[in-house]
Amino acid sequence: MTGRRKQGERGVGGFTLIEVMIALAILAGMLTVLLRGAAGNVAATQRSRMMTAATELARGKMYDIEEDLLHNGFQPDLQEDEGDFEEEGWPQISWKSEIEKVELPNAEALGGFGEDGEDSEGGGASGGAGGLGGGGLGGAIIGSQFEMVKNMMEEALRRVRITITYKVAGFTEEFTVDCYFTDPAAIGRVNSLAAGGAADTSGSDDTSSSGSSSGRSNSDTKESGTTKR
């Protein structure tokens, strides 16, 4: 009969089991690549979002520290503080701040001359040509002026360092922000202290001089009395 398929003939339009398995394997590989790319995009988006938020929060915290320094002034010791941004709605972002005095190098470290006018490098006047000045009296004057400027800058300069820490996709990331603040009023305080010290020194010298003059006057009086007798 023509309606029956002959025994041994293969049907057309179908897929074998091997072909189906190969197709599924290809589909699984493509889906893995797509899912991995999508996950990477999500992580990058989350990291960018956290970085933007952390940057803005760090800027706000720096403003707060600046305002606190304006009200309370600079402290000579190291100041440390830490916390998080839970009040701002970001409890997963934490911060740590350090406020420290900036230590500047002295004249000897810069290859210049100290207050005694001697070359710290041991090279004489020629060795100090690239330093702060020449030897002798000139080196002593420049060294003393440098120390005065150094003390002013150290008194009027503070470095603020803020470290921001946050987590993205289970990994901890952090970045550091450094900022330098100056206090012009500190220069006036250093000048006042220097002027006070100079006034005390001159006052002591005047007192000693006047005492010596009085002593000489008394001696002159005694000598003149002896002559009359």
Please write the tens of the pLDDT for every residue from 158-216: 999 999 999 887 889 999 999 999 887 777 776 676 565 545 544 444 544 444 444 44
Sheet (strand 171-182) strand order: 79-85, 90-101, 157-168, 171-182
Instruction: Name the more confident of 181 and 118.
Output: 181
Three-class secondary structure of residue 2 per DSSP:
coil
Q: Does 10 have pLDDT greater than 50?
A: yes
Count of all residues that appear for the chain in the document: 229
Instruction: Name the more confident of 182 and 221.
Output: 182
Mean pLDDT over all residues of the chain? 74
Among candidate residues 150, 110, 109, the one with its CA nearest the CA of residue 130: 110
Q: How far is CA 31 from CA 17, 23, 182, in A?
A: 21, 12, 58
d(CA 174, CA 82): 14
Please report how the helices 184-228 and 136-156 are oriented relative to each other, as an axis angle in degrees rounded to 10: 130
In this prediction, residue 136 has a pLDDT band, given cuts at 50, 70 and 90, of low
pTM: 0.58
Cross-strand partners of 98: 80, 161
Residue 98 class from Cβ within 10 Å (0-12 exposed, 13-18 middle, 19+ buried)? middle
